[in-house]
Structure formats: C-alpha cells, structure tokens
Structure 1
Amino acid sequence: MRPIFQLFALVMILLVPSGAAFAAAPKDSIESLHAVLLQAMKAGPSATVEARYALLKPKLDAIYDFRRMIEVAAGSTWANTDAATQSKLADAFARFSVMTYASRFSSYAGEEFRITGERPGPRDTVLVDTEIDRGANAQLAPGENRTVAISYVMAKTDDGWRIIDVILDQSISELALRRSEYSRTLRSGGADELIEVLNKKSDELAAAK
C-alpha cells in the first residue's frame, strides 16, 4: 500500500466510531436488557437490593429514556416546573424505576426471556415484542399463563434507541398507569411532592430484605 493510501486509511479508522458507539438496533437494546436482568436474578438472595440496583442502573439508564417518560407522566406540571426541579424529578423517577427492577428481579428459577417480534409503532416508534417464560416449575395460580407478554415502545434519540413505554399483555401501558397514579399527588403538591413520594418509595424498596 502506498504511503498516501496508508495515511488515508489511518485517518478513516480514527474518524469512524468504534462498534460500541454505533446506535444499537431496538432488538439489540432489549437483548442487553434481558442479559442484565438475568444477571441480577441469578445473583439472587446473595445480593442485596442495593447491590442489584448498582448492577442494573448503568444499563437501564442507557436503555430507558426516563426523563421523557416522567415528562409525559407529569403532564402539564412538567412544563410549569423550573429546570432544576425537573432534573430532581427525573432523577427520582429513574431511581424508583431501577429500584423497582432491583426489587422484583431478585431470584432465578429457570426463567427465559425471548424476543418474539418487532413492528412499527405510532409516531416513528418501534415496538419490540417479548415474553418471559417462567419455566416448567413455576407456581401458577389457576388460569395464570406460564408466559408473560411484554412489548417495549422504543424511540430513536441522539443516543440510540430508548424505551419510552412498556406495554403488558398487549394492552396495559405502564406510562398511562404512572400518569394516573401520579395525577393526584401532582394536583395536591406539585413536582416537589412527587419527588418526595418517589424517593420515599425507593428508600422503602432499598430497605426491604
């Protein structure tokens, strides 16, 4: 290779971002989520809630758009709140969301996560359909399914594809539930009260055995 072409090739290598810098496809992000959830589950009772939280937080922060989610859940209150309080509310919501995962995904009994499809969603979103198979030994209530269907609503951001909503059993929007749940608190005490409520719930989850 001539020197000029060697120099050109070197410049191109330096300018092209590494593989980790490319925006992951929606399915790739969900595969990463499944992997870290299984890691937390397999840590099981030997790990505290706080330890699982520390494991999950970096990955969930990278996959979820928590700020956009709380902006939607808070509705008009968000627009009428100063930037500093918005940041505190986003942090409190993210902490509570990750702590909820750390609390729920606390043991492993052969569960499997599967991606079952990908489809276009409204407003340029992509829905990644998945299911959790609770395993042959799962203790189920009468009429309860062994598998749980979960669809992740993902939007393209400057940092790649991020989850902006989770739909359970193809009908129940987590974001809609949060908006309904938070509405009374926001009406009575605004963003400051919701921050207090979310942080208190996070503290209670962290203290649980």
Structure 2
Amino acid sequence: MKRCLMFSTGMMALLAAVPTAIAPYSAQAASRSAATAPAAAPSTPQAPIAGLYKALEQSEHSGAGIGKRSAMIAPQVDRAFNMDAILKRSVGLHYDQLSPSERDALITAFKRFTIARYASTFKPGTDATFTVAQSSVDEGRTIVHTTIGNKNDSPESATPIDYVMVQGPDGWRIVDILLDGHISQVAAQRSDFKTIFSQSGASGLARTLTKKADDFLQE
C-alpha cells in the first residue's frame, strides 16, 4: 500500500502515526458530516479529506472503467487541493513570473495528473480502507491525521498519511502531504519540478505531467 501511494515523481508523502490521543473515525462517517458544509468552503480541516476519501472508496467499489472513476474523483480533488499553492512551492520563485495562461495550463496538467494517479491506484479490487482523525497544530501548521490500509490488514499496518491544511476564501485546502512524519510531498517533488522547469519551462513541465497522467489512464 505504501508504494502505491507514492507519485512517480515523488509527489505523495507520508507522516508519522496518528497520535494515540486522537481517536480516528471512519472516512464514511466523516464525509457524511462534511456533506452538511458548503461544497466550495469546507468548514473543518477534515471535511475536504473526508470527501476525497469517500470518492476514493466509491471509485474502488464502483466496478467502473478508469474514465468514469476519474470523473468520480475529480470534483473532490478540485475541492480538497490548493493546486496553485502546491505548484508555487514546488516550482519556486519562477512560478510568480508565469503568465496567467501558463499558470492555468500548468495547474490543469497537475490536477489531471493527480486525478489520474488516484483513479489508477484506487481501482476496483483494491479494498483500501480509510480513516480520518481530528486535526492538530504543529509548529503553527494545521495537520489532519489519516491512515490508508487494506481490509485484510491489521489497523497497526495501515499507512499514516497527514495533510497540511490552510484555510482561505474557499475554505480549508491541502497545501502539502506528509508521509512517515517528515517526508513532504512538496519537498520530494521540488527537485524534479525545478529540473524540468529549468530545462523546458512551464510548458515542458505541463507536458511531462500530462504524459504521466496519460500513462496512469491506460488500463
């Protein structure tokens, strides 16, 4: 499970185990609670994560092809992630110098890549299980603690994944993902993104992400 959660460009990251003082609850229950919040402005840090996990559960249980699974996941990815903030930190200072059209194209490619990766990973028969715990504050960051495992595994063997959340005009959004407590998605992908960007610019990075998305979408 841990390997399938890693983006091929190093885009996913892991965080330390959920603190024992934080009692996890199921993603399904959390998503029902989140459904009462405005769609465009999740009212709690957990709400967008619960919505994303619910979509992934539906994807793997749908029996649908990857195109339909992508369509199921896409709205929750759009709602959960602040793609602009993630790309800005991943690309670096040059991101602010992009034209609006270059930035839009890069965000579109990054979003498509993210959706395709999720649809490819959580396919029918995956049998992943999701839990979402309460949020905590660490060094000024709001972090939502979660785990992803397999229904045949013990809870202790589930992979802990934490999300760094920031509240903006559109509600709470993901700005980083942490694996094993310290491996940051943004940090892991920064080297790859900067290298591609320096060699071929925003258009080259967008093409690379589009190609990776196309590869994920082949079933």
Instruction: Tell me the TM-score range normalised by the shorter chain.
Output: 0.7 to 0.9
Matched residue SS, 2:38: helix
**Match in the other structure for 1:82:** 99
| Structure-1-length-normalised TM-score | 0.80
CA deviations 1:26-67 (Å, max 9, x no partner) are 112222121111001112xx3222211111001110111112
Identify the residue that residue 72 of structure 1 maps to in structure 2.
89
Using the aligned pairs only, state the percent identity.
27
Q: Does 1:24 align with 2:35?
A: no
Larger Rg: 1
The structure, 1 or 2, with the larger RCO (C-alpha pairs under 8 Å, 6+ apart) is 2
Q: Superposed, which structure 2 residues align to 1:121-140 within 5 Å?
A: 121-123=138-140, 125-136=141-152
Map 1:169-208 onto structure 2 (within 5 A): 169-206=180-217, 208=218
What is the Cα deviation at residue 100 of structure 1? 0.8
Deviations 1:136-172 (CA, angstroms, capped at 9, x unpaired): 269xxxxxx7210000111001010001111112121
Q: C-alpha deviations, 1:95-122, integer Å up to 9, x for none?
A: 1111111111113454321123411144
How many pairs align?
182
Query: Any idea what SS the aligned residue of 1:20 has?
Result: coil
SS in 2 for 1:107: coil
Structure 2 alignment gaps of length 5 or more: 1-35
Contact kept in structure 1, 2:42 and 2:48, CA below 8 Å: no
1:42 matched to 2:34? The reply is: no
RMSD: 2.0
Distance 1:133 1:187, change over 3 A: same
CA contact (8 A) 1:73 1:175 kept: yes
Q: State the Cα distance separating 1:19 from its structure 2 match.
A: 5.0
Unmatched runs of 5 consecutive residues or more in structure 1? 1-17, 139-144
Question: Which structure dedicates a bigger proportion of its chain to helix?
Answer: 1
Using the alignment, how far apart are the partners of 2:37 and 2:192 within structure 1? 40
